[in-house]
Amino acid sequence: MRIAKYYSNSDIRIEEMPVPDIGPREMLVKVMASGICGSDVMEWYRIKKAPLVLGHEIAGEIVQAGDEVSRYRAGQRVFVSHHIPCNTCRYCLSGNHTACETLHTTNFFPGGFAEYLRVPELNVDRGVFPLPDDMTYDQGTFIEPLACVARGQRVARLEAGQSVVVLGSGISGLLHIALAKALGAGRIIATDISRYRMDAAKRFGAYAAISARENVPARVRELNDGRPADLAIVCAGELSAFEQGLASLDRGGRLLCFAPTKPGVSLPVPINDFWRNGITILPSYGGSPRDIMIAMDLIGARRVPVEEMITHRLPLEEAGEGFRLVAEASESIKVLLLPHDR
């Protein structure tokens, strides 16, 4: 089978490898669509593990189920989660599924940028979700990223009517904007350095989009009837975005750190203001099975218009072009790789 193997952001090679063999409690899935995530092009993180096959936003069809797999059958259309929690450790039992060690060490093989993948036993047990009949494969690639966004807004306790500033209007920022809009948020203000993405932010629900090079805290107050925001969601990996978000918060506000930075970056927090004003700083990584189900319901009900966010559908052999589009972050939103004709 063909795979798109990552050596660097500018070096994606189409190679051949055998179709994976499966065990009695495993499955073989034919990958019909696979999204390129922003994390796939975080070169500082990925290149130290290269070469490897990336891709975790997948939807496909089961072509073979092991002899001891009873819940699924060949021909079923599915989303498969690459990271799955154990559901029994102290983190899972306290609701912190994405802190689970099992979640951080599980994956399918070889990755979503391949024609087929092997779903290991643990993932078969708790990481396979049949697609509704009216959900396309392309829509299914949004289940994982939207689940991450849903978890982020859940832990940030977003409430209807609250004002939100989203710093960074790439695909994660746009999903945050669209979901906040669907959940009844008040005024949503977006930032970016790209006019293309600022326009997209307004298209998907932002009241206004401003340049990240402006005085963002001042502009947020200006656009929000003189008040800072209730919630700031950082979807850009630059320290300046975190600083802008923190400075844009009203008393009692919350800073959701949705994006990572490069290693070794620290966020300076003015302790007295932080203490006096009751600011909360929250991280959010990944999504739990609960969030996956929420994301599927949101997509199925058309509450979040994911199909409209797809700007490029490319065959697997054009994976290099797909990585270029996502890494350049200029005039693309969601780039999908399609390993098979359909």
Confidence bin at 341 (pLDDT 50/70/90): confident
Question: Using the 8-state DSSP alphabet, how is residue 132 labeled?
Answer: P
Dist. CA 23–CA 98, nearest whole Å: 27
Question: Does 180 share its domain with 278?
Answer: yes
C-alpha dihedral (244, 246, 252, 254), degrees to nearest 10: 100
Question: Does 15 share its domain with 35?
Answer: yes
Q: Is residue 77 included in any domain, yes or no? A: yes
Question: Does 210 share its domain with 294?
Answer: no
Give, in order, the Cα–Cα distances in Å from 274 to each of 229, 254, 281, 307. Answer: 15, 11, 9, 40
Confidence bin at 152 (pLDDT 50/70/90): very high
Contacts of 341 (CB under 8 A, 6+ apart): none
Q: Is residue 152 included in any domain, yes or no? A: no
Question: Does 250 share its domain with 314?
Answer: no
Question: Does 6 share its domain with 81?
Answer: yes
Number of compact structural domains in the chain: 2
pLDDT at 11: 98
Question: Does 244 share its domain with 303?
Answer: no
Question: Does 170 share its domain with 274?
Answer: yes
**Domain of 168, in residue numbers:** 157-283
Question: Does 274 share its domain with 292?
Answer: no
Domain containing 49 — which CATH number? 3.90.180.10
Q: Is residue 275 included in any domain, yes or no? A: yes
Rounded (5°) CA angle 90-176-141: 80
Nearest to 7 by CA among 44, 37, 45, 52: 52
C-alpha dihedral (97, 298, 135, 116), degrees to nearest 10: -20
pLDDT at 246: 96
Q: Is residue 217 included in any domain, yes or no? A: yes
Model pTM? 0.97
Question: Does 18 share its domain with 134?
Answer: yes
pLDDT at 273: 87
